[in-house]
Chain A
Protein backbone atom coordinates (compact mmCIF):
# COMPACT_ATOMS: atom_id res chain seq x y z
CA UNK A 1 0.00 0.00 0.00
CA UNK A 2 1.14 3.56 -0.76
CA UNK A 3 0.30 6.89 0.83
CA UNK A 4 0.01 9.86 -1.56
CA UNK A 5 0.47 13.42 -0.38
CA UNK A 6 -0.57 16.01 -2.94
CA UNK A 7 0.02 19.75 -2.96
CA UNK A 8 -2.05 21.91 -5.31
CA UNK A 9 -1.02 25.54 -5.79
CA UNK A 10 -2.03 28.35 -8.09
CA UNK A 11 0.29 28.53 -11.09
CA UNK A 12 3.08 31.02 -10.54
CA UNK A 13 1.79 33.18 -13.41
CA UNK A 14 -1.45 33.74 -11.49
CA UNK A 15 -1.73 36.38 -8.80
CA UNK A 16 -2.60 34.78 -5.46
CA UNK A 17 -4.48 37.46 -3.49
CA UNK A 18 -4.90 35.13 -0.50
CA UNK A 19 -1.16 34.59 -0.37
CA UNK A 20 -0.63 38.35 -0.62
CA UNK A 21 -3.04 38.99 2.27
CA UNK A 22 -1.32 36.38 4.45
CA UNK A 23 2.10 37.77 3.52
CA UNK A 24 0.89 41.16 4.68
CA UNK A 25 -0.17 39.60 8.01
CA UNK A 26 3.22 37.93 8.44
CA UNK A 27 4.98 41.21 7.76
CA UNK A 28 2.74 42.91 10.34
CA UNK A 29 4.08 40.40 12.87
CA UNK A 30 7.57 41.62 12.13
CA UNK A 31 8.80 38.69 10.04
CA UNK A 32 9.67 40.91 7.13
CA UNK A 33 12.19 38.53 5.57
CA UNK A 34 9.37 36.11 4.64
CA UNK A 35 8.25 36.64 1.06
CA UNK A 36 6.42 35.06 -1.90
CA UNK A 37 3.65 33.49 0.21
CA UNK A 38 1.41 31.17 -1.79
CA UNK A 39 -1.73 29.45 -0.52
CA UNK A 40 -2.56 25.99 -1.81
CA UNK A 41 -4.41 22.81 -0.97
CA UNK A 42 -3.16 19.65 0.66
CA UNK A 43 -4.80 16.34 -0.22
CA UNK A 44 -3.76 12.87 0.93
CA UNK A 45 -4.98 9.34 0.36
CA UNK A 46 -3.89 5.72 0.36
CA UNK A 47 -3.57 3.68 -2.82
CA UNK A 48 -4.27 0.03 -2.32
CA UNK A 49 -1.57 -1.54 -4.48
CA UNK A 50 1.87 -3.05 -4.01
CA UNK A 51 3.18 -1.61 -7.29
CA UNK A 52 4.69 1.87 -7.02
CA UNK A 53 4.15 2.53 -10.74
CA UNK A 54 0.42 1.88 -10.29
CA UNK A 55 0.25 4.18 -7.24
CA UNK A 56 2.00 6.87 -9.26
CA UNK A 57 -0.26 6.36 -12.25
CA UNK A 58 -3.56 6.65 -10.36
CA UNK A 59 -2.38 9.59 -8.25
CA UNK A 60 -1.34 11.40 -11.42
CA UNK A 61 -4.67 10.59 -13.06
CA UNK A 62 -6.66 11.83 -10.04
CA UNK A 63 -4.65 15.08 -10.03
CA UNK A 64 -5.09 15.64 -13.73
CA UNK A 65 -8.77 14.78 -13.93
CA UNK A 66 -10.09 16.21 -10.69
CA UNK A 67 -7.81 17.44 -7.91
CA UNK A 68 -6.13 20.23 -9.87
CA UNK A 69 -7.49 22.43 -12.64
CA UNK A 70 -4.62 22.76 -15.15
CA UNK A 71 -5.90 26.16 -16.30
CA UNK A 72 -4.97 27.71 -12.97
CA UNK A 73 -3.20 25.16 -10.80
CA UNK A 74 -0.02 23.09 -10.59
CA UNK A 75 0.40 20.01 -8.44
CA UNK A 76 3.18 17.94 -6.92
CA UNK A 77 2.95 14.73 -4.95
CA UNK A 78 5.01 12.29 -2.94
CA UNK A 79 4.45 8.56 -2.43
CA UNK A 80 5.37 6.63 0.68
CA UNK A 81 5.17 2.85 1.07
CA UNK A 82 3.07 2.01 4.13
CA UNK A 83 2.02 -1.19 5.92
CA UNK A 84 -1.41 -0.01 7.10
CA UNK A 85 -3.73 2.91 6.31
CA UNK A 86 -2.48 6.20 7.76
CA UNK A 87 -5.84 7.62 8.84
CA UNK A 88 -8.16 4.59 9.02
Chain B
Protein backbone atom coordinates (compact mmCIF):
# COMPACT_ATOMS: atom_id res chain seq x y z
CA UNK B 1 0.00 0.00 0.00
CA UNK B 2 1.38 3.44 -0.89
CA UNK B 3 2.25 5.87 1.88
CA UNK B 4 -0.57 7.93 3.30
CA UNK B 5 -0.27 11.68 2.90
CA UNK B 6 -0.66 13.44 6.25
CA UNK B 7 -1.24 17.20 5.99
CA UNK B 8 -0.42 19.07 9.19
CA UNK B 9 -1.94 22.53 9.43
CA UNK B 10 0.38 25.22 10.79
CA UNK B 11 -1.18 28.28 12.42
CA UNK B 12 0.75 31.11 13.99
CA UNK B 13 1.19 29.74 17.51
CA UNK B 14 0.97 26.03 16.65
CA UNK B 15 3.70 24.24 18.60
CA UNK B 16 2.98 20.54 18.17
CA UNK B 17 3.11 20.66 14.38
CA UNK B 18 6.67 19.32 14.25
CA UNK B 19 5.86 16.56 16.74
CA UNK B 20 2.91 15.50 14.57
CA UNK B 21 5.12 15.62 11.45
CA UNK B 22 7.80 13.55 13.22
CA UNK B 23 5.28 10.99 14.45
CA UNK B 24 3.47 10.58 11.11
CA UNK B 25 6.58 10.88 8.93
CA UNK B 26 9.69 9.66 10.73
CA UNK B 27 8.12 7.19 13.18
CA UNK B 28 5.17 5.85 11.19
CA UNK B 29 6.98 6.13 7.86
CA UNK B 30 4.20 7.96 6.06
CA UNK B 31 4.37 11.04 3.84
CA UNK B 32 3.99 14.05 6.16
CA UNK B 33 3.78 17.64 5.00
CA UNK B 34 3.09 21.01 6.58
CA UNK B 35 0.23 23.14 5.27
CA UNK B 36 0.39 26.85 6.07
CA UNK B 37 -2.88 28.25 7.40
CA UNK B 38 -2.92 30.96 4.71
CA UNK B 39 -3.06 28.33 1.96
CA UNK B 40 -6.51 27.85 0.50
CA UNK B 41 -6.15 24.20 -0.52
CA UNK B 42 -5.18 21.02 1.32
CA UNK B 43 -3.95 19.52 -1.93
CA UNK B 44 -4.13 15.74 -2.27
CA UNK B 45 -3.74 14.78 1.38
CA UNK B 46 -5.42 11.67 2.81
CA UNK B 47 -5.44 12.77 6.44
CA UNK B 48 -5.53 16.24 8.00
CA UNK B 49 -3.98 16.82 11.43
CA UNK B 50 -4.83 20.02 13.27
CA UNK B 51 -2.03 20.08 15.81
CA UNK B 52 -1.75 21.39 19.34
CA UNK B 53 -0.43 24.73 20.41
CA UNK B 54 -1.77 28.19 21.01
CA UNK B 55 -3.06 29.35 17.63
CA UNK B 56 -3.32 33.13 17.59
CA UNK B 57 -2.19 33.19 21.22
CA UNK B 58 -5.57 31.77 22.31
CA UNK B 59 -6.89 35.33 21.86
CA UNK B 60 -10.63 35.74 22.59
CA UNK B 61 -11.13 31.97 23.07
CA UNK B 62 -8.96 28.96 22.25
CA UNK B 63 -9.38 28.26 18.55
CA UNK B 64 -11.80 31.14 17.97
CA UNK B 65 -9.59 33.04 15.51
CA UNK B 66 -7.92 30.04 13.85
CA UNK B 67 -11.20 28.89 12.41
CA UNK B 68 -11.25 31.96 10.15
CA UNK B 69 -7.88 31.08 8.58
CA UNK B 70 -8.23 30.52 4.82
CA UNK B 71 -7.27 26.82 5.04
CA UNK B 72 -10.20 26.08 7.37
CA UNK B 73 -12.67 26.49 4.49
CA UNK B 74 -10.98 23.60 2.75
CA UNK B 75 -10.78 21.59 5.99
CA UNK B 76 -14.57 21.99 6.37
CA UNK B 77 -15.04 20.91 2.74
CA UNK B 78 -12.67 17.94 3.22
CA UNK B 79 -14.48 16.86 6.40
CA UNK B 80 -17.83 17.24 4.66
CA UNK B 81 -16.68 14.82 1.97
CA UNK B 82 -15.76 12.24 4.60
CA UNK B 83 -12.05 13.03 4.78
CA UNK B 84 -10.16 11.94 7.89
CA UNK B 85 -9.49 14.87 10.24
CA UNK B 86 -7.66 14.52 13.56
CA UNK B 87 -7.65 17.50 15.93
CA UNK B 88 -5.28 17.27 18.88
CA UNK B 89 -5.52 19.60 21.89
CA UNK B 90 -5.74 23.09 20.36
CA UNK B 91 -6.81 21.26 17.20
CA UNK B 92 -9.80 19.85 19.12
CA UNK B 93 -10.64 23.36 20.32
CA UNK B 94 -10.43 24.67 16.74
CA UNK B 95 -12.74 21.88 15.49
CA UNK B 96 -15.41 22.77 18.07
CA UNK B 97 -15.13 26.47 17.20
CA UNK B 98 -15.43 25.61 13.51
CA UNK B 99 -18.61 23.63 14.22
CA UNK B 100 -17.10 20.33 13.04
CA UNK B 101 -17.48 18.84 16.52
CA UNK B 102 -20.17 19.58 19.13
CA UNK B 103 -19.58 21.15 22.54
CA UNK B 104 -16.66 23.21 23.72
CA UNK B 105 -13.59 23.11 25.95
CA UNK B 106 -13.79 25.22 29.10
CA UNK B 107 -10.99 26.31 31.42
CA UNK B 108 -9.70 23.40 33.53
CA UNK B 109 -11.73 23.13 36.72
CA UNK B 110 -8.47 23.48 38.71
CA UNK B 111 -7.64 26.69 36.77
CA UNK B 112 -4.18 25.17 36.32
CA UNK B 113 -2.34 24.16 33.17
CA UNK B 114 -1.94 20.39 33.47
CA UNK B 115 1.00 18.62 31.83
CA UNK B 116 1.29 14.91 32.63
CA UNK B 117 0.61 11.40 31.39
CA UNK B 118 -3.00 10.31 31.72
CA UNK B 119 -4.79 7.04 31.06
CA UNK B 120 -7.48 6.81 28.42
CA UNK B 121 -10.15 4.19 28.13
CA UNK B 122 -10.98 3.32 24.54
CA UNK B 123 -14.77 3.53 24.66
CA UNK B 124 -15.28 2.92 20.97
CA UNK B 125 -12.77 0.83 19.03
CA UNK B 126 -14.98 0.80 15.96
CA UNK B 127 -13.78 4.13 14.54
CA UNK B 128 -11.14 4.85 11.94
CA UNK B 129 -9.02 6.37 14.73
CA UNK B 130 -9.21 3.44 17.15
CA UNK B 131 -9.53 0.32 14.97
CA UNK B 132 -6.11 -0.87 16.13
CA UNK B 133 -7.05 -0.49 19.82
CA UNK B 134 -8.64 -3.10 22.04
CA UNK B 135 -12.24 -2.27 22.96
CA UNK B 136 -12.18 -1.14 26.57
CA UNK B 137 -8.39 -1.08 26.47
CA UNK B 138 -6.33 1.58 28.23
CA UNK B 139 -3.77 3.88 26.60
CA UNK B 140 -1.24 6.05 28.39
CA UNK B 141 -0.97 9.39 26.59
CA UNK B 142 0.27 12.78 27.80
CA UNK B 143 -1.90 15.87 28.12
CA UNK B 144 -0.74 19.50 28.23
CA UNK B 145 -3.54 22.05 28.38
CA UNK B 146 -5.23 24.77 30.38
CA UNK B 147 -8.60 24.56 28.62
CA UNK B 148 -9.55 20.93 28.24
CA UNK B 149 -12.71 20.75 30.32
CA UNK B 150 -15.18 19.28 27.84
CA UNK B 151 -18.68 20.70 28.05
CA UNK B 152 -21.84 20.17 26.00
CA UNK B 153 -25.51 20.69 26.79
CA UNK B 154 -27.48 17.72 28.13
CA UNK B 155 -29.11 16.93 24.79
CA UNK B 156 -25.80 16.92 22.90
CA UNK B 157 -24.16 14.78 25.55
CA UNK B 158 -26.98 12.26 25.49
CA UNK B 159 -26.59 12.02 21.72
CA UNK B 160 -22.82 11.50 22.03
CA UNK B 161 -23.36 8.76 24.61
CA UNK B 162 -26.11 6.96 22.68
CA UNK B 163 -24.26 6.93 19.40
CA UNK B 164 -20.89 5.88 20.75
CA UNK B 165 -19.30 9.16 19.72
CA UNK B 166 -17.35 9.37 22.96
CA UNK B 167 -14.15 7.66 21.91
CA UNK B 168 -11.87 8.25 24.91
CA UNK B 169 -12.48 8.87 28.60
CA UNK B 170 -9.94 9.68 31.29
CA UNK B 171 -9.56 6.65 33.52
CA UNK B 172 -7.43 5.07 36.22
CA UNK B 173 -4.47 2.86 35.13
CA UNK B 174 -6.86 -0.08 35.57
CA UNK B 175 -9.50 1.46 33.31
CA UNK B 176 -12.00 2.74 35.86
CA UNK B 177 -13.74 6.00 35.07
CA UNK B 178 -13.28 7.93 38.31
CA UNK B 179 -13.34 11.57 39.39
CA UNK B 180 -9.70 11.25 40.52
CA UNK B 181 -8.69 10.21 37.02
CA UNK B 182 -10.30 13.30 35.52
CA UNK B 183 -7.53 15.89 35.07
CA UNK B 184 -9.63 18.87 34.00
CA UNK B 185 -13.25 18.50 35.08
CA UNK B 186 -14.58 17.25 31.73
CA UNK B 187 -18.18 16.06 31.81
CA UNK B 188 -18.28 12.26 31.91
CA UNK B 189 -14.43 12.21 31.86
CA UNK B 190 -14.63 12.88 28.12
CA UNK B 191 -11.17 13.10 26.52
CA UNK B 192 -12.05 12.61 22.84
CA UNK B 193 -15.11 12.51 20.57
CA UNK B 194 -15.96 11.87 16.93
CA UNK B 195 -18.53 13.60 14.77
CA UNK B 196 -21.73 11.92 13.56
CA UNK B 197 -20.11 10.64 10.38
CA UNK B 198 -17.16 9.29 12.34
CA UNK B 199 -14.50 10.93 10.18
CA UNK B 200 -13.52 13.81 12.47
CA UNK B 201 -11.88 13.11 15.84
CA UNK B 202 -11.00 15.68 18.48
CA UNK B 203 -8.95 14.71 21.51
CA UNK B 204 -7.16 16.70 24.20
CA UNK B 205 -4.35 14.16 24.84
CA UNK B 206 -1.32 14.13 22.53
CA UNK B 207 -0.81 10.76 20.79
CA UNK B 208 2.03 12.25 18.71
CA UNK B 209 4.03 12.71 21.91
CA UNK B 210 3.82 9.00 22.70
CA UNK B 211 5.12 7.48 19.47
CA UNK B 212 8.91 7.40 19.57
CA UNK B 213 10.16 4.25 21.38
CA UNK B 214 13.05 6.27 22.80
CA UNK B 215 10.50 8.09 24.97
CA UNK B 216 9.47 4.83 26.60
CA UNK B 217 5.83 4.90 25.53
CA UNK B 218 4.44 4.11 22.10
CA UNK B 219 0.72 3.99 22.94
CA UNK B 220 0.13 6.99 20.67
CA UNK B 221 1.14 4.90 17.67
CA UNK B 222 -2.19 3.06 18.08
CA UNK B 223 -4.03 6.12 16.82
CA UNK B 224 -1.79 6.45 13.77
CA UNK B 225 -1.90 2.69 13.10
CA UNK B 226 -5.70 2.79 13.34
CA UNK B 227 -5.91 5.59 10.78
CA UNK B 228 -3.49 3.76 8.47
CA UNK B 229 -5.48 0.54 8.94
CA UNK B 230 -8.72 2.30 8.02
CA UNK B 231 -7.26 3.16 4.62
CA UNK B 232 -6.21 -0.46 4.04
CA UNK B 233 -9.81 -1.50 4.74
CA UNK B 234 -11.11 1.17 2.38
CA UNK B 235 -8.75 -0.08 -0.31
CA UNK B 236 -9.82 -3.70 0.15
CA UNK B 237 -13.49 -2.74 0.00
CA UNK B 238 -12.79 -0.67 -3.10
CA UNK B 239 -11.03 -3.59 -4.81
CA UNK B 240 -13.82 -6.02 -3.94
CA UNK B 241 -16.59 -3.81 -5.27
- Picked from A10, A21, A66, A67, the residue with its CB within 8 Å of the CB of B111 is A21
Once the chains bind, are A66 and B64 in contact (CB under 8 Å)?
Answer: yes
B60 within 8 A of A: yes
What is the distance, in angstroms, from A22's C-beta to the closest C-beta of chain B?
10
Q: Which chain B residues (69-109) contact chain A, with CB distance < 8 Å?
A: 96-97, 103-104, 106-109
B61 within 8 A of A: yes
* Bound Cα distance A41, B107 (Å): 14
Residues of B within 8 A of A18 (CB): 107, 111
Closest residue of chain A to B67 (Cβ to Cβ) is A66
- Picked from A15, A17, A66, A72, the residue with its CB within 8 Å of the CB of B104 is A72
Q: Which of B106, B110, B111, B152 has the largest count of A CB atoms less than 10 A from its CB?
A: B106
What is the distance, in angstroms, from B183's C-beta to the closest C-beta of chain A?
14
Residues of A within 8 A of B68 (CB): 66
Once the chains bind, are B97 and A15 in contact (CB under 8 Å)?
Answer: no
Q: Which of B60, B97, B108, B153 has the largest count of A CB atoms less than 10 A from its CB?
A: B60
Closest residue of chain A to B106 (Cβ to Cβ) is A72
B interface footprint on A22-58 (CB within 8 Å = 1, 0 otherwise)? 0000000000000000000100000000000000000
Residues of B within 8 A of A69 (CB): 61, 64, 97, 104
Q: Secondary structure at chain B's binding surface: helix, strand, loop or mixed?
A: loop
Once the chains bind, are B107 and A71 in contact (CB under 8 Å)?
Answer: no
Q: Which chain B residues (143-160) contact chain A, with CB distance < 8 Å?
A: 151-153
Residues of B within 8 A of A66 (CB): 60, 64, 68
**Number of interface residues, chain B, beta carbon within 8 A:** 18
* Bound Cα distance A18, B60 (Å): 16
* Bound Cα distance A85, B109 (Å): 39
Closest residue of chain A to B156 (Cβ to Cβ) is A71
Residues of A within 8 A of B106 (CB): 10, 14, 72
Residues of A within 8 A of B111 (CB): 17-18, 21
Once the chains bind, are A15 and B152 in contact (CB under 8 Å)?
Answer: no
Q: Which of A15, A21, A71 has the largest count of B CB atoms less than 10 A from its CB?
A: A71
* Bound Cα distance A20, B92 (Å): 27
- A67-B60, A71-B104 given; 13 more Cβ-contact pairs under 8 Å: A14-B151, A17-B107, A17-B108, A17-B110, A17-B111, A17-B185, A21-B111, A41-B60, A66-B64, A66-B68, A71-B96, A71-B103, A71-B152
What would 21 A/B residue contacts be, using CB atoms closer than 8 Å?
A14-B151, A15-B109, A17-B107, A17-B108, A17-B110, A17-B185, A18-B107, A18-B111, A41-B60, A66-B60, A66-B64, A66-B68, A69-B64, A69-B97, A69-B104, A71-B96, A71-B104, A71-B152, A71-B153, A72-B104, A72-B151
